[in-house]
Amino acid sequence: MRRTGPTNALARKLIRILRKQNKRIWKRVAEELERPARQRVAVNVKKIDKYSKPNDIIVVPGKVLGVGTLSHPVTVYAFAFSKSAKEKIEKAGGRAGSLFKALDEIKNYKNVRMMK
C-alpha cells in the first residue's frame, strides 16, 4: 500500500515549505510531520524544562502538552500547543509560536534544539 502522507492541508503546506529550506533541521522536521497523526511527537513542558537552557529556541515537530512546569524562559515553535502548555511557556517569560513563524524568525541556528 502506498503512503499518502497527512491529509491535513496545513500540514501538507508546511511540509512542502520545510523541504525547500537549506537547513538540515527543517528537513528533519518535515520528515517527522509526514508521519501518521497517531505517531506524531508529543512533548511535555517538563521535558522542555529538563533539556533546555534559558533563552534556547526549541522546535517540536508535533504537539506541546502542558504536563510539568517551566522554570526559565524559552522560545518554543511547534505544530500545535495545548492551551495549558502555551500558558505555562508564556508565564515563564518565554514565547510560543507556530513552525510557520519559526521559518521567518530564526536567523541564528546556534542555540536551536529539536525535541521529540
Domain ranges of the chain: 38-114
Q: What is the pLDDT of residue 114?
A: 94
Contact yes or no for 41/63 (Cβ under 8 A): yes
Alpha-carbon span 56 to 38, nearest angstrom: 28
Q: Which three cell numbers stand for residue 106?
A: 530564526
Question: In Å, how far from its chain's centre is CA 13?
Answer: 16
- Give the list of residues 6+ apart from residue 75 with CB closer than 8 angstroms, or none: 55, 56, 57, 58, 94, 95, 96, 97
pLDDT digits over 55-66, tens only? 999 999 999 999
pTM for this prediction: 0.92
- Render each residue's pLDDT in the chain as its tens digit; 116 residues: 776 777 888 899 999 999 999 999 999 999 999 998 889 999 999 999 999 999 999 999 999 999 999 999 999 999 999 999 999 999 999 999 999 999 999 988 888 999 98
pLDDT attached to residue 6: 74
pLDDT of 5:
72
Please tell me the CATH code under which domain 38-114 is placed. Answer: 3.100.10.10
Task: Please name the residue that has the C-alpha cell 491535513.
Answer: 8
